[in-house]
Amino acid sequence: MLDIKFLRANPDIVKENIKKKFQDEKLPLVDEVIELDKEFREAKTRAEYLRSQRNKISKQIGFFMAQGQKDEAEKAKAEVASMAQELEDLSVKEGEFEEKIRKIMLVIPNIIDPSVPVGKDDSENVEIERFGEPVVPDFEIPYHVDIMEKLDGIELDPARDTSGNGFYYLKGDIARLHSACLSYARDFMIDRGFTYYIPPYMIRSSVVDGVMSFSEMENMMYKIEGEDLYLIGTSEHSMIGKFIDTMIDEKDLPQTLTSYSPCFRKEVGAHGIEERGVYRIHQFEKQEMIVVCRPEESPMWYDKLWQNTVDYFRSLDIPVRTLECCSGDLADLKVKSCDVEAWSPRQQKYFEVGSCSNLGDAQARRLRIRIKGSDGNYLAHTLNNTCVAPPRMLIAFLENNLNADGSVRIPEALRPYMGGKDVIR
């Protein structure tokens, strides 16, 4: 959410930013919120004037009474009573204006970083760098579910019976591999100085409003019927939410956290849910990274976060690339974002396995996350990034470590988490 003072002083910059995100339908909102803000400030100024006048006249009442000027005292009392009614009306107006302004400000997108390429959607994202040599073996790579089924590691039909499409049973060595990837990611991030968390898996609507846009919420989150609780779509939601209404001392920054959680998503939209596969599903697990820092440090942490994901995948012999998200592919709260994509030998292309985002002070403004500085208080910056999210990540792992005989090689880094196994047969 933007600072209303910034929008008031820079309406043209805000409008140009909206155009870059190809959300022209939101352009009238800028003028609308400026007019509402003007009326709000006029009401507030009028209320402040009335309070000062009321205090002044109230003092005169005592003087009139002491002088025996009852008629003058009664006139003053009537004037004070009239002011009280107007103040009450103005208070209601102020509240209405504030609510309208907030609703509009929540849907006006954050100002994107100047380095973000302008484009309509993810088809116009820009490749930044490749890590590792993409290899296409001289034998056929089966579909990932076929690999799992051949290793007796997945059951989709029973999951459809119990839960519907978008769910799965993992079993045996594939289930163990799934857990191993997460355990390795946990230790990988701890070794890089991040504090490990297991957060709440449900959050209140006040936190949802603070961490994401309304459109994202509608397409992603499951509401718990009859309660003010939502299932998290990623642990970033509850991890950033834990800082709501806090004042963090500068000396305690940066806060570098890594969290494990299951994630639950509706996956509403053009992509839909896969009938047979584990790429786009309703539940999965993830090891996340979260940083709360000073504004001047957020670009540096952004680069560190995506590099962590690249290093994790390369340690498992999976080639990856980074992709700069264009303006039209950025969620409204994001200043800058990049995807990490893994190589698929079967499809002979890259696909998304993680996303790194710098949200500037957008979440901090919504959740009132402030820093106590030596020269005054100010808003923090927040960032998040996926370290690993199986079972999607297993697709890349299985394809890139598959042997010609159908067995799967276990890279050295993962073997301690697989009971010393160097291959799954």
DSSP-derived secondary structure for 273-302:
--SS-SSS-SEEEEEEEEEEE-GGGHHHHH
pLDDT at 193: 98
C-alpha pair distances (Å), 399 with each of 147, 164, 319, 382, 422: 9, 26, 11, 34, 16
> Does 366 lie in the same domain as 260?
yes
Range of the domain at 93: 4-105
- Helix, strand, or coil here: 350? strand
> Does 198 lie in the same domain as 285?
yes
Q: In the chain, how many domains are there?
A: 2
Q: What mean pLDDT is predicted for residues 239-259?
A: 97
The DSSP H or E segment spanning 239 is helix 235-241
Look at residue 222 and tell me if it is in a domain.
yes
For the cut 70, the answer to whether the pLDDT of residue 272 exceeds it is: no
Residue at a domain's end among 50, 74, 105: 105
Q: What are phi and psi of 297, to 5 degrees?
A: -95, -10
**Lookup: tokens for 19:** 């155009």
> Does 101 lie in the same domain as 158?
no
> Does 409 lie in the same domain as 347?
yes
For the cut 60, the answer to whether the pLDDT of residue 112 exceeds it is: yes
For the cut 90, the answer to whether the pLDDT of residue 288 exceeds it is: yes
pLDDT at 307: 98
Q: What is the CATH number of the domain that holds 195?
A: 3.30.930.10
Show Cβ contacts of residue 48 under 8 Å, excluding neighbours closer than 6 positions: none
pLDDT at 90: 92
What percentage of the chain carries pLDDT values higher than 90? 82
> Does 100 lie in the same domain as 140?
no
> Does 351 lie in the same domain as 260?
yes
Q: What is the CATH number of the domain that holds 79?
A: 1.10.287.40
Show the CA angle centred on residue 205, arms to residues 201 and 208, nearest 5°: 70
Looking at every residue in the chain, the average pLDDT score rounds to 93
Residue 1 confidence class, pLDDT cut points 50, 70, 90: confident
Four-residue CA torsion sign, 359, 362, 364, 366: negative
Residue 73 confidence class, pLDDT cut points 50, 70, 90: confident
For the cut 80, the answer to whether the pLDDT of residue 171 exceeds it is: yes
pLDDT at 413: 97
For the cut 60, the answer to whether the pLDDT of residue 359 exceeds it is: yes
For the cut 60, the answer to whether the pLDDT of residue 84 exceeds it is: yes
> Does 236 lie in the same domain as 101?
no
Look at residue 274 and tell me if it is in a domain.
yes
pLDDT at 253: 97
> Does 72 lie in the same domain as 134?
no
> Does 212 lie in the same domain as 298?
yes
For the cut 60, the answer to whether the pLDDT of residue 270 exceeds it is: no
Torsion of Cα atoms, 310 then 313 then 317 then 318, to 10°: -90
Look at residue 111 and tell me if it is in a domain.
no
For the cut 80, the answer to whether the pLDDT of residue 160 exceeds it is: yes
> Does 185 lie in the same domain as 147?
yes
Residue 244 confidence class, pLDDT cut points 50, 70, 90: very high
> Does 127 lie in the same domain as 254?
yes
Q: What mean pLDDT is predicted for residues 372-388?
A: 96
Rounded to whole angstroms, the Cα distance separating 190 from 188 reads 6
For the cut 80, the answer to whether the pLDDT of residue 70 exceeds it is: no
For the cut 80, the answer to whether the pLDDT of residue 215 exceeds it is: no
pLDDT at 302: 98
Residue 274 confidence class, pLDDT cut points 50, 70, 90: low
Four-residue CA torsion sign, 340, 266, 231, 182: negative
pLDDT at 77: 79
For the cut 90, the answer to whether the pLDDT of residue 218 exceeds it is: no
> Does 209 lie in the same domain as 86?
no
**Lookup: tokens for 163:** 């839960």
User: In this structure, what DSSP letter does residue 116 have?
Assistant: S
For the cut 90, the answer to whether the pLDDT of residue 271 exceeds it is: no
pLDDT at 319: 98
pTM for the whole thing?
Answer: 0.90
For the cut 90, the answer to whether the pLDDT of residue 136 exceeds it is: yes
Residue 67 confidence class, pLDDT cut points 50, 70, 90: confident
Show Cβ contacts of residue 227 under 8 Å, excluding neighbours closer than 6 positions: none
User: In this structure, what DSSP letter does residue 402 have?
Assistant: B
Torsion of Cα atoms, 131 then 136 then 142 then 145, to 10°: 0
